[in-house]
Amino acid sequence: MLNFREEVLELTKMLVQHPSIVGTVGERDIAYTIYDYLQQIPYFQKHPSHLRLSQTEGDEKERYNVLALVKGEDGNHEETVILMGHLDTVGIEDYGKWKPWAFSPDELMERWKNSKVKTQVRRDLEQGEWLCGRGSVDMKSGVACNMALIRHFAEHPEELKGNVVLLVECDEEDNSHGILSALKDFQYWAQQQNLTYVAAINTDYTAPRYEGDPHRYVYLGTVGKLLPSFFIAGKETHVGQAFEGFDPNLIAAELTARLDYNPDFCDEMFGEVTLPPVSLKQTDLKMKYDVQTSLAAFVYYNFFVYSWSPKDVLERLKEVAVRAFEQAHTKFQARYRQYCELSGDPYQPEEFEPRVYTYEEFFQECKKAHGAEFENGMRHFAMNLLNEEELDLRLFSCRMVEEMWSWAEDKSPAIILFYSSIYIPRIVLNEGEDRDLRLIEAVNRAVDEVQPYYDQPIQVRKFFPYISDMSFVAISDDEEGIQAYERNMPALGTKHKMDLEAIRALDVPVVNIGPYGMDAHKQWERVEVPYSMQIVPNLNYRVIRHVLENRGPKPSTSSS
């Protein structure tokens, strides 16, 4: 076992002490800090072209990725392993009275020791083997591990039977501009340095799966994430004539009742099960108060997948939307009838058929009705909408659908189903594929070798269960599934650009072996030192060596 603990601990503290909240100037500046650290390593002074500070492309903000390449001593091997991790963090609003010390790990720890804190936090403090602060577990300790590893290989290139590329990317916590921009850097180095990428190791955080869980987890491949969204058009009316309209919020409520926490929409593969969908937004689109009912509503749901493609999800949710619409309409009619019986008013229902479309279907209807005028109008609207910089990707997409609805000839109530956020691909590692098996075997071997040095069990599982940038180094969905996303994402090509061909060109199997901690994205965020700063870098050190030494069959896909 190599001794990484103190080096990784000090690097983690250095990184935590440099605020890098996503979208802030700190996110930009920490890239310089990491670059300057690596620049002091003699290898990179001797090979300056092997170190890059790369500005993201097509980004609304100035920010950077850091890339470093270490070649094996003989320099004759093409095969290359990627080490990756993100430098940005979420904000610190949740720290409350401890906000001033969110980036000061030692001082924050002392203040916690002298304060009333959660029982589990107190136990960890008393154990004395934890480090706290924003980014400590998600994921600056993972980046610190990678920096220590790249330093080690830079000093010992004779240990490499191939090459290692380090990527420290920005913007993981928002729209993944960092990794998506880095894909071109990977391609550039593949061509300029004669590299063939054969595996990737992400070092994002890991956590207990349940209270009292003793395991530390290593993950093969990753969950995918989609954000299916619904624009719901109702019929507005004055509240004094409530039953002359149709409230879109009633449909939204029915959708949420069917989807929120519903295990029927858990995706299962290899005996592992995703979390069910959960609502991330539910709102009407009224901009101010008045006594008119809402014309439209907007809802979206987090949707994790292991085996389902974007096309599969659309098909399932279109059926749900039809049922929700029908139930809302039935409930509306029943309550209208009951009101008329109470009031003595005549029951005069306005009948309409529930209508549910995908974005692509409704776009084609408008195109058929209005031709080039509609297409040009939508294109110009999108370009003008880019000037409203305060709109995030989700609201930008909603505004696009709302504009499309304005072209509808039939304004009776309807639902339009679409995607309003980035496509985060699932990645499945298959033992039947030689290149995947090579990485799987390297991981299993490394775990077996390192386990005797650590008391808690290290378990290998099939899917990393959290959203991460490892999703953008390969794609397991087929072309039909991907096209379903592309054709139903209104902001694609304007507000959001995603080079799927670059992902296909890289196409490497990926695992996650990262630090262990608690309460990521919360005020009690903390990382366990022994596992995260000693075991993790040793695991990844061994995986890298095993992959490069077990050359096996020639990889089926090359990035060069």
Spatial contact of 83 and 164, defined as CB atoms under 8 Å apart:
yes
φ/ψ of 213, rounded to 5, equals -65, 120
Per-residue pLDDT of 532-553, as tens digits, reads 999 999 999 999 999 999 875 4
pLDDT digits (tens, 9 = 90+) for 350-377: 788 899 999 999 999 999 999 999 999 9
What is the rounded average pLDDT of the residues 54-78? Answer: 92
pLDDT of 233-270, one tens digit each?
999 888 888 898 999 999 999 999 999 999 999 999 99
Q: How many residues does the chain have?
A: 560
Model pLDDT, residue 552: 56
Residue ranges of alpha helices (H) inside 40-140 are 42-46, 105-113, 119-127
Token couple for 12: 């983690």
Identify whether the C-beta of residue 413 lies closer than 8 Å to the C-beta of residue 332: no
Region 475-496 average pLDDT: 95
Q: Which of 469, 456, 555 is nearest to 512 (CA)?
A: 469
Encode pLDDT of 84-99 as tens digits: 999 999 999 999 999 9
pLDDT tens string 380-403 = 999 999 999 899 999 999 999 999
The owner of tokens 């009838």 is: 337
Whether residue 44 has pLDDT greater than 70 = yes
User: What is the model's pLDDT at position 559?
Assistant: 37
- Tell which residue, 207, 198, 79, has the closest CA to residue 138: 207
CA atoms of 273 and 305, how far apart (whole Å): 9
Domains and CATH numbers, the chain: 5-223+425-473+508-549 (3.40.630.10), 228-419 (3.30.70.360)
Percentage of the chain beyond pLDDT 90 is 88
Token reading at 319: 């059926």
Q: What is the 3-state secondary structure (H, E, C) of 230-261?
A: EEEECECCEHHHHHHCECHHHHHHHHHHHHCC
pLDDT score recorded for residue 558: 35
Instruction: Output the pLDDT for position 498.
Output: 87
pLDDT reading at 555 higher than 60:
no
pLDDT for residue 291 is more than 90: no
Cis geometry, peptide bond prior to residue 139 (ω within 30 degrees of 0): yes
Over residues 109-157, the pLDDT tens digits come to 999 998 999 999 999 999 889 999 999 999 999 999 999 999 999 999 9
The whole-number pLDDT of residue 554 equals: 45
Mean pLDDT confidence for 273-301: 94
- Which tens digits make up the pLDDT trace of 144-197? 999 999 999 999 999 999 999 999 999 999 889 999 999 999 999 999 999 999
- The percentage of residues in the chain with a pLDDT greater than 70, rounded to a whole number, is 98
Q: Note the pLDDT of residue 560.
A: 31
Q: How confident is the model at residue 557 (pLDDT cuts 50, 70, 90)?
A: very low
For residue range 420-473, list pLDDT tens digits in order.
999 999 999 999 999 999 999 999 999 999 999 999 999 999 999 999 999 999
Q: Assess whether pLDDT exceeds 90 at residue 76.
A: no
Distance CA 249, CA 241 (A): 17
Whole-number mean pLDDT of the chain? 94
- Percent of the chain as helix, strand, coil, to the nearest 5: 45, 20, 35
Mean pLDDT of the region 25-49: 97
- How confident is the model over 2-10, as a mean pLDDT? 98
